[in-house]
Structure 1
Amino acid sequence: MVRLTRAQQQERTRAAVLVAAREEFAERGYVDAKVDRIAERAELTRGAVYSNFTGKRALYLAVLADAAERARAAAEPPAESPDSAARALGAFARVWLERLPLAGDTPESGHLQLRSLSGVLDTPPARAALAELVRFEALLLALALESRPAAPERMVRPAELALTLLHGAAGLAELVPGVGDPFDLAGAAEHLAGVALTEDAEPPHLPFVAPARPAADRWTAPRGLRDEITGRQVDLGDDGVVVVLGVARLSAAEEAVRAARPGDAVTIVVVTGDAAELGRLARLRILDLVGCLRRVFAAGELPWPRVVLDDGGAVPAALGRGSVDDGVEFAVRVGDGLVVARAEGRGAGHAAAGHGAARHRDRRAGPA
């Protein structure tokens, strides 16, 4: 008889709870699901469930995040990306809309299939985190669209509009399964790429952001981190910028991305003080979006910043931060294996990305 280690037994218990929870949510929906019934389905005690998940909301988010992880892993990239931003946005919409329930689906199964958060996020921190995640999703989608030939320089606004259209269609389909033609919706999304929208000016606080502080700190980059965009391992010792953002500050990622030098390795590290719920929410939303992007864009044309989900706070700890919260924002620039600049607070990513920019431009220009 093979004896399982404690970690193996815990993983087996967690997997059994997720299967049982998925069945319970599919049959009864989120509101009417009960943790006691989930424990019975898994043939476990209520205590065994709570030893792995803090409650029903954490369980539901874990089920959805697991589904998003599987979809991302199974996504097959095309040989070539669409040849325009409009076609790419239409293709993205078609992939995203595959989740819409059909007329014969039950409301409960449709709720789960849509990865719906309706009635789930009932606290101000959760809603604030979701708002930031939506902005972050729009940035990632926009960066992929901006790589297309003749695409506008910035496409965050059209990306936001397209995601609003898709989530609105999902909300209606949740109430009335089968309503809304996916082909019409995808066609509408394609046209959004050409809608004349004025991109927002740079955030008003950026001119007042303090420059990053020069440093020469040795550090040991954590191992075992994964870029959720490509699925590959990440080496944070690469020259570039590491931006650590709490889930309530993810919209600041654009400041760092836009300020980065050509060729910089930019890594957005997502952290939270609530890994059980907000961490799973971030994982769900980011992996869900990435799974769709990976079916539309060739591997080399996915959004270029690296995205690391750091539920355990390994990166902040390695950079000297003992604890993090959902509103944290700090960044470093790494060069030759050293932390060469540090910045903290609003605009930290922008400051670290821009550190030494004038010297960098002078070096590229060469002698007069």
Structure 2
Amino acid sequence: MARLTRVQQQARTRAAVLVAAAQEFAERGYAEAKVDRIADRAELTRGAVYSNFPGKRSLYLAVLLEALQDRPAAVSVQPPADVAEAAEAFARVWLERLPLAGDTAAGAQLRAHSVTGVFDDEPGRAAMAALTQMESLLLALRLETSRPRETRRVRLAELLLTLLHGADHLAQAAPGFGDPFDVTRACRYLAAMEAPDVWDPPHLPYIGPAQRCADRWEPPAEVIDALTDGPVSCGADSVVVVLGSRRLGMAEEAVRAARTTDLVTIAAVTSDPAEIGALVRLRINALATTLRRVFGPSGSRVRVVFDFDGSLAAAAGTETADDAEAAVLIRAGQIVARATGRGAGHAAAIAEGER
């Protein structure tokens, strides 16, 4: 009973800190917010704040994640008819987070879920670059299901995200500038733009083969897929790719190489769950929520798992570093091939075709 009481007390303390932090960030913005003032607002000691959050950055991300859970989660009942309609619908939902004209600068930053100026160090910038690559892939995979069907729509997804992130930044820096309705129409026009989009990375022919094996596959009984926000099993025939925060952009190599009947599970890992892990969770969850609202429940064979406790990586026999890149091929509950290093997802996915 004493342990339960401590757990309950810790939960109450954490909740009080989050409420106080949301008020502080909304009034002063990330840069000017102070942990001491947050502690005073919560009527707690500075040590009590740090016992729950390692620093101001992790606290800010926790506030954004809490706010994200309050966003509308309804899914589309009528998926877009074609890719142009899909691009416009995605933009419309995305732009709901734009700051309002009367928002303060601090309030605008929170409303937009902005991390501008929050990750200005090299690890954070590297994670942001890889994350944006992965976001482009996840959006593209849904666009590729829209008519007319094409092999790849990653370039279109990159252009859409470039325009929408730009609208985000302008709405914060120059409130009142631009018309969101014009932005959504521009996204529709982008879908009609002819731009070469082929999948032919020059390094793929030089990737070494995966190691054939017959190892036991003992994954966690159940993990949560961030794209559906529901539990999934990792025991079926699949390619499981473990990618550190710096390597998330490599997910497409496994997706394009895997058999159409294979599930592809991307296990995101990091050595810094409190900050880099929270950033990954924030960005992917925000994107996934938007995708579900536009396209409906995910029917994709790709799943994304936040493996910040390393349980899925351990089952695959690999590490959880931010530059980790490893993959295993699963058949009938057994690891039949494994690969590490650059191109691991591609190598594992095509292992059965090599002799």
1:357 aligns with 2:327: no
Equivalent residue for 2:146? 148
Equivalent residue for 2:303? 306
Per-residue deviation, 1:200 = 4.9
Q: Which one of the candidate residues 246, 270, 277 is aligned to 1:272?
A: 270
Equivalent residue for 1:179? 177
Q: Which runs of 5+ in 2 are unaligned?
A: none
Moved >6 Å (runs of 4+)? none
Partner SS for 2:230: coil
For 2:291 and 2:256, the matched residues in 1 are separated by 21
- What's the C-alpha RMSD, in Å, of the aligned pairs? 1.7
For 1:347 and 1:324, the matched residues in 2 are separated by 17
1:207 aligns with 2:212: no
Name which of structure 1's ranges 76-85 and 241-250 shifts more when overlaid on structure 2.
Answer: 76-85
Letter in structure 1 aligned against 2:341: G
For 1:149 and 1:313, the matched residues in 2 are separated by 39
Letter in structure 1 aligned against 2:301: W
Equivalent residue for 1:66? 66
Partner SS for 2:266: strand
Equivalent residue for 2:52? 52
Equivalences for residues 260-299 of structure 1 within 5 A: 260-299=258-297
Per-residue deviation, 1:5 = 3.7
Per-residue deviation, 1:358 = 6.3
TM-score normalised to structure 1 length = 0.92
Per-residue deviation, 1:151 = 2.9
For 1:151 and 1:181, the matched residues in 2 are separated by 30
Equivalent residue for 1:32? 32
Equivalent residue for 1:317? 314
Letter in structure 2 aligned against 1:40: D
Partner SS for 1:296: helix
Per-residue deviation, 1:149 = 2.1
Per-residue deviation, 1:231 = 1.4
Equivalences for residues 99-248 of structure 1 within 5 A: 99-248=97-246
Partner SS for 2:241: strand
Q: Percent identity?
A: 57
Letter in structure 2 aligned against 1:356: E
For 2:314 and 2:298, the matched residues in 1 are separated by 31
Conserved? CA contact 2:87–2:188, under 8 Å: yes
Partner SS for 2:227: coil
For 2:7 and 2:245, the matched residues in 1 are separated by 28
Conserved? CA contact 1:84–1:151, under 8 Å: no
Per-residue deviation, 1:178 = 2.3
User: Relative to structure 1, is the Cα distance of residues 70 and 271 closer, same or farther in structure 2, using a 3 angstrom cutoff?
Assistant: farther
Equivalent residue for 1:23? 23
For 1:154 and 1:3, the matched residues in 2 are separated by 53
Per-residue deviation, 1:304 = 3.5
Letter in structure 1 aligned against 2:242: V
For 1:232 and 1:45, the matched residues in 2 are separated by 37
For 1:63 and 1:252, the matched residues in 2 are separated by 29
For 1:14 and 1:242, the matched residues in 2 are separated by 34
TM-score normalised to structure 2 length = 0.96
User: Relative to structure 1, is the Cα distance of residues 127 and 331 closer, same or farther in structure 2, using a 3 angstrom cutoff?
Assistant: same
Partner SS for 2:232: coil
Partner SS for 2:92: helix
Name which of structure 1's ranges 337-346 and 221-230 shifts more when overlaid on structure 2.
Answer: 221-230
Conserved? CA contact 2:328–2:335, under 8 Å: yes
Conserved? CA contact 2:242–2:266, under 8 Å: yes
Equivalent residue for 1:364? none
For 1:189 and 1:171, the matched residues in 2 are separated by 17
User: Relative to structure 1, is the Cα distance of residues 3 and 351 closer, same or farther in structure 2, using a 3 angstrom cutoff?
Assistant: closer
Partner SS for 1:193: helix
Name which of structure 1's ranges 250-259 and 147-156 shifts more when overlaid on structure 2.
Answer: 147-156
Per-residue deviation, 1:201 = 4.3
For 2:183 and 2:134, the matched residues in 1 are separated by 22
Equivalences for residues 81-100 of structure 1 within 5 A: 81-100=79-98
For 1:107 and 1:121, the matched residues in 2 are separated by 18
Conserved? CA contact 2:262–2:301, under 8 Å: no
User: Relative to structure 1, is the Cα distance of residues 33 and 212 closer, same or farther in structure 2, using a 3 angstrom cutoff?
Assistant: same
Conserved? CA contact 1:65–1:281, under 8 Å: no
For 1:256 and 1:271, the matched residues in 2 are separated by 17
Conserved? CA contact 1:143–1:304, under 8 Å: no
For 2:307 and 2:20, the matched residues in 1 are separated by 27
Per-residue deviation, 1:246 = 0.4
Equivalent residue for 2:13? 13
Between Structure 1 and Structure 2, how many residues are aligned? 355
Per-residue deviation, 1:300 = 4.5
Partner SS for 2:192: coil
Letter in structure 2 aligned against 1:64: L
Conserved? CA contact 2:316–2:327, under 8 Å: no
Conserved? CA contact 2:267–2:313, under 8 Å: no
For 1:133 and 1:81, the matched residues in 2 are separated by 26
Describe the superposition over 1:62-100 as per-residue Cα deviations: whole angstroms up to 9, x where unpaired: 2112223443xx411111210101101100000000111
